[in-house]
C-alpha cells in the first residue's frame, strides 16, 4: 500500500480520490487550502453533495488511513505519490487558468524529499507536464528526485465514486516508464484498460473526450431546433439515430444544454489552444454557441406563451447543472434566472441540494426547496434539472399549486399527454406538440421547395 497525498483534496475530484484511495487501503492525506472544508472533513462532515462519498470519508477517518490538512509540510514529505487535483477554471479569454496549478506545484516542491511521483489529475492544457516539471526543477531542493505523469480524470459528478472505481479506461502519459508503471499499479485493481501514451496525447485525450461529448449534446440540440421548425420530434429522431452503433444513444439528450465545471471550460480551453496554435476551430466554437442559445430557448418559449414576462411568476425546478450534485458552476439555470430577472419576471427556484450556493446572488429571487411550494401561484414552471424527485413529481398537485398552466420541459422528461392529463400546457424542446405548432409549411421557401418537387 502506498502513501499518497491529494493536493486539492477537498474539491470534487480530490476528495473523491482521497476517500477512495484510503478505502483501497492506502495511507492518504487530503491537502487543501480551504481551511473551513478541511476542518469540516476532519470532523467527519462532507462539504459537497456526492452520493456515497460521505460514507467513504467516514470509513477512511475511522480507520485512520484518511486525514486532512492545510499544511504542505505535513502532507508532502514521505509521500510516494502526489495527486494534483486543484481547479483549472477558465481565465478571461477562455484559456485554462493555471494559477492554482502553479501555486500548488511551487508549494509542494519545497517539501519534496526522496523520490516522488506527481500525478497530474487536474485537466491541464497540452504541454503542462513540461510546465510542472520545470516548476519542480526550479523550486525543489537539489538532490530530490521526481517524475510527472499526466493522468486525466473522467469521473462525473453525481456518480463520482462509482466512476472512479469503475473507469472505462485509465490514461497515463509520461516520459518516465518506471513512474508510469507505478501509477498503473495503483489502478490495477480496477481492471480497466490502461492507455499509456506520451504526455501531450494524454492531455489531449481529456480535452478531446469532453469536446466530443459536448458536441453530441449540441448536435442533438441543433436537430431539436430543426425539429421544432419542420415538425418532427427529437425524441423519436434520437431513438432512431441512437440505435446506430456507430453513433450510440448516450449524450444525445436534447434540452437546455450542458453546464458544470468541465464541458464549457474545457471546450473553451481547447478552442483557445487551437487558436494559439494558429487553428480556428469552427466546430468547437459552434458547440459553445449552440449551448448558449439553448438556455435562451426556454425563455423564448415562455415569452411566446405568456407574452411580456414582466411581473409574471416563473418557477424553475432545478438549479444544479445536473442531478445528484450540488454543483452550480455554469449551470443552465443560472443563465435562465439571469434572463428572467432581466425581464423583471418574479422568479422562484427549487432544488434538492444546490440552493445554498446561490444565496444572495439575486435580489428578489426566492429559493424554495419544496417544488410544490415553489410552484405556488406560478404562471409557468420550467424543468431545468432532471433530478429524480422531479421525474416522479405529481403533475396534478403541481398544477393545483400554480396560477397558470404552462409547463416548459427543458429536459424532455414528461410527455405532452402526461402534462395534458394534469391540465398543463406542455412546451417541450425539439417537439412539435399541439401547443408548439409546427411551422414547417408556413415557411415560404420550404413550402416552395416542396411544391416544386411535387410538380
Ligand atoms: P474544485 O474547485 O472542486 O477543487 C479544487 C480544490 O483545490 C479546492 O478545494 C481548492 O480549495 C483547492 N486548491 C486550490 N488551490 C490550492 C493550492 N494551491 N493548494 C491546495 N489546494 C488548493 O475542482 P474540481 O471540480 O475537483 O476539479 C479539479 C480538476 O479536475 C479540474 O482541473 C477539473 O477540470 C478536473 N476534473 C473535474 C471533474 C469534475 O467532475 N469536477 C471531472 C474530471 C476532471
Residue 17 CB less than 6 A away from ligand 1: no
Whole-number Å distance between alpha carbons of 53 and 160: 8
Distances (CA, A) of 322 to 156, 325, 375, 384: 10, 7, 20, 9
Report the pLDDT value the prediction gives residue 44, as an integer from 0 to 100: 96
* Nearest residue by C-alpha to atom 14 in ligand 1: 86
Radius of gyration in angstroms for the set of CA atoms belonging to the chain, rounded to a whole number: 24
Instruction: Look up the pTM and report it.
Output: 0.94
Residue 325 CB less than 6 A away from ligand 1: no
**What is the pLDDT tens value at each position of the chain, 455 positions in all?**
999 999 999 999 999 999 999 999 999 999 999 999 999 999 999 999 999 999 999 999 999 999 999 999 999 999 999 999 999 999 999 999 999 999 999 999 999 998 999 999 999 999 999 999 999 999 999 999 999 999 999 999 999 999 999 999 999 999 999 999 999 999 999 999 999 999 999 999 999 999 999 999 999 999 999 999 999 999 999 999 999 999 999 999 999 999 999 999 999 999 999 999 999 999 999 999 999 999 999 999 999 999 999 999 999 999 999 999 999 999 999 999 999 999 999 999 999 999 999 999 999 999 999 999 999 999 999 999 999 999 999 999 999 999 999 999 999 999 999 999 999 999 999 977 533 444 445 566 677 777 777 77
Question: Residues 29, 156: one domain?
Answer: yes
Distance from the alpha carbon of residue 262 to the mean position of ligand 1, in angstroms: 11
* Nearest residue by C-alpha to atom 8 in ligand 1: 11
CA 199 from chain center: how many Å? 24
Phi, psi of 326 (to 5 degrees): -105, 10
Report the pLDDT value the prediction gives residue 449, as an integer from 0 to 100: 73
Pairing between strand 313-317 and 346-350?
A: parallel
Q: 177, 196, 215 — which closes off a domain?
A: 196
Residue 402 CB less than 6 A away from ligand 1: no
Contact (Cβ atoms closer than 8 angstroms) between residue 235 and residue 253: no
Question: Residues 167, 273: one domain?
Answer: no
Question: Residues 288, 253: one domain?
Answer: yes
Distances (CA, A) of 185 to 150, 164, 358, 448: 15, 15, 42, 65
Residue 14 CB less than 6 A away from ligand 1: yes
Question: Residues 259, 317: one domain?
Answer: yes
Question: Residues 147, 292: one domain?
Answer: no
Question: Residues 374, 255: one domain?
Answer: yes
Distance from the alpha carbon of residue 261 to the mean position of ligand 1, in angstroms: 9
Contact (Cβ atoms closer than 8 angstroms) between residue 218 and residue 257: yes
Question: What CATH number is attached to the domain comprising 299?
Answer: 3.40.50.720
Residue 86 CB less than 6 A away from ligand 1: yes
CA 79 from chain center: how many Å? 30
Q: Which strand (E) or helix (H) includes residue 222?
A: helix 199-230
Residue 11 CB less than 6 A away from ligand 1: yes
Distance from the alpha carbon of residue 372 to the mean position of ligand 1, in angstroms: 35
Question: Residues 252, 170: one domain?
Answer: no
β-pair partners for 69: 31
Contact (Cβ atoms closer than 8 angstroms) between residue 384 and residue 318: yes
Helices (H) and strands (E) in the chain, counts: 18, 14
Q: Which residue, 410, 408, 429, 430, is CA-closest to 419?
A: 408
Q: Which residue, 258, 191, 248, is CA-closest to 218?
A: 258
Question: Residues 264, 129: one domain?
Answer: no
Angle value at C-alpha 26, between 23 and 31, nearest 5 degrees? 90
The one-character DSSP state at 141 is P
Q: 170, 196, 222 — which closes off a domain?
A: 196
Contact (Cβ atoms closer than 8 angstroms) between residue 347 and residue 379: no
Question: Residues 354, 205: one domain?
Answer: yes
Q: Which atom of ligand 1 is nearest to the CA of 100?
A: 15
In the chain, the number of structural domains is 2
Query: Exposed, middle or buried, 257 (CB in 10 Å: 0-12/13-18/19+)?
Result: buried
Distance, first Cα to last Cα, the chain: 77
Pocket test for ligand 1, best of 261, 268, 357 (most atoms within 8 A of CB): 261
Whole-number Å distance between alpha carbons of 252 and 229: 19
Report the pLDDT value the prediction gives residue 84, as an integer from 0 to 100: 98
Question: Residues 335, 205: one domain?
Answer: yes
Contact (Cβ atoms closer than 8 angstroms) between residue 374 and residue 368: yes
71 C-beta neighbours (distance < 10 Å), count: 11
155 C-beta neighbours (distance < 10 Å), count: 22
* Nearest residue by C-alpha to atom 17 in ligand 1: 104
Q: Which strand (E) or helix (H) includes residue 139?
A: helix 128-139
DSSP string over 372-401? HHHTTT-SEEEE-S--HHHHT--HHHHHHH
Report the pLDDT value the prediction gives residue 436, as an integer from 0 to 100: 42
Residue 18 CB less than 6 A away from ligand 1: no
Q: Which atom of ligand 1 is nearest to the CA of 88?
A: 32
Residue 48 CB less than 6 A away from ligand 1: no
Distance from the alpha carbon of residue 9 to the mean position of ligand 1, in angstroms: 8
Distance from the alpha carbon of residue 8 to the mean position of ligand 1, in angstroms: 6
β-pair partners for 118: 82, 148
Query: Which residues are annotated as catalytic?
Result: 262
Whole-number Å distance between alpha carbons of 325 and 334: 15
Contact (Cβ atoms closer than 8 angstroms) between residue 119 and residue 145: no
Report the pLDDT value the prediction gives residue 454, as an integer from 0 to 100: 76
Instruction: Report CA torsion sign: 39, 183, 207, 169.
Output: negative
Question: Residues 104, 184: one domain?
Answer: yes
Angle value at C-alpha 273, between 116 and 82, nearest 5 degrees? 15
Pocket test for ligand 1, best of 72, 87, 206 (most atoms within 8 A of CB): 87
DSSP string over 395-423? HHHHHHH-SS-EEEETT--S-HHHHHHTT
Contact (Cβ atoms closer than 8 angstroms) between residue 210 and residue 265: no
Distance from the alpha carbon of residue 83 to the mean position of ligand 1, in angstroms: 11
Distance from the alpha carbon of residue 439 to the mean position of ligand 1, in angstroms: 46
* Nearest residue by C-alpha to atom 2 in ligand 1: 87
Question: Residues 192, 265: one domain?
Answer: no
Q: Domain range spanning residue 35?
A: 3-196
Distances (CA, A) of 216 to 131, 156, 238, 257, 281: 32, 16, 11, 10, 16
Q: 133, 165, 196 — which closes off a domain?
A: 196
Amino acid at each position: 500500500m502506498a502513501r499518497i497525498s491529494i493536493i486539492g483534496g477537498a474539491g470534487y475530484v480530490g476528495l473523491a480520490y482521497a476517500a477512495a484511495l484510503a478505502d483501497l487501503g492506502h495511507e492518504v492525506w487530503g491537502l487543501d487550502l480551504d481551511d473551513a472544508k478541511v476542518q469540516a472533513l476532519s470532523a467527519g462532515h462532507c462539504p459537497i453533495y456526492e452520493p456515497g462519498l460521505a460514507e467513504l470519508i467516514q470509513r477512511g477517518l475511522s480507520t485512520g488511513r484518511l486525514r486532512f490538512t492545510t499544511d504542505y509540510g505535513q502532507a508532502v514529505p514521505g509521500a510516494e505519490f502526489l495527486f494534483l487535483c486543484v481547479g483549472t477554471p477558465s481565465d478571461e479569454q477562455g484559456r485554462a487558468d493555471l494559477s492554482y496549478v502553479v501555486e500548488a506545484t511551487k508549494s509542494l516542491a519545497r517539501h519534496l524529499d526522496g523520490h516522488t511521483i506527481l500525478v497530474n489529475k487536474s485537466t491541464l492544457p497540452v504541454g503542462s507536464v513540461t510546465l510542472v516539471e520545470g516548476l519542480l526543477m526550479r523550486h525543489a531542493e537539489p538532490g530530490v528526485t521526481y517524475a510527472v505523469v499526466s493522468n486525466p480524470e473522467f469521473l462525473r459528478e453525481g456518480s463520482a465514486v462509482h466512476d472512479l472505481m469503475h473507469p472505462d479506461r485509465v490514461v497515463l502519459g509520461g516520459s518516465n516508464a518506471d513512474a508510469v508503471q507505478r501509477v498503473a499499479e495503483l489502478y490495477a485493481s480496477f481492471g480497466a484498460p490502461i492507455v499509456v501514451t506520451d504526455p501531450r496525447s494524454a492531455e489531449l485525450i481529456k480535452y478531446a473526450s469532453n469536446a466530443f461529448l459536448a458536441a453530441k449534446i449540441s448536435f442533438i440540440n441543433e436537430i431539436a431546433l430543426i425539429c421544432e421548425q419542420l415538425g418532427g420530434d427529437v425524441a423519436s429522431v434520437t431513438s432512431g439515430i441512437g440505435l446506430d452503433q456507430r453513433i450510440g444513444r448516450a449524450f444525445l439528450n436534447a434540452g437546455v444544454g450542458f453546464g458544470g465545471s468541465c464541458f464549457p471550460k474545457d471546450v473553451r480551453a481547447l478552442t483557445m489552444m487551437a487558436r494559439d496554435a494558429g487553428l480556428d476551430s469552427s466546430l468547437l466554437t459552434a458547440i459553445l454557441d449552440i449551448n448558449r442559445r439553448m438556455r435562451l430557448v426556454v425563455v423564448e418559449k415562455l415569452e411566446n406563451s405568456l407574452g411580456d414576462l414582466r411581473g409574471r411568476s416563473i418557477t424553475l425546478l432545478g438549479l444544479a447543472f445536473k442531478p445528484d450534485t450540488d454543483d452550480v458552476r455554469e449551470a443552465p439555470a443560472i443563465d435562465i434566472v439571469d434572463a428572467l430577472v432581466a425581464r423583471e419576471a418574479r422568479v422562484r427556484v427549487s432544488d434538492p441540494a444546490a440552493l445554498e450556493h446561490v444565496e444572495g446572488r439575486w435580489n428578489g429571487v426566492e429559493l424554495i426547496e419544496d417544488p410544490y411550494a415553489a410552484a405556488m401561484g406560478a404562471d409557468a414552471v420550467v424543468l431545468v434539472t432532471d433530478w429524480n424527485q422531479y421525474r416522479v413529481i405529481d403533475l396534478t398537485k403541481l398544477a393545483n399549486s400554480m396560477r397558470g398552466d404552462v409547463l416548459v420541459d427543458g429536459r424532455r422528461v414528461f410527455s405532452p399527454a402526461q402534462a395534458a392529463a394534469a391540465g398543463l400546457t406542455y412546451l417541450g424542446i425539439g417537439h412539435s406538440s399541439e401547443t408548439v405548432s409546427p411551422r414547417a409549411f408556413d415557411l415560404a421557401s420550404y413550402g416552395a421547395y416542396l411544391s416544386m418537387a411535387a410538380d
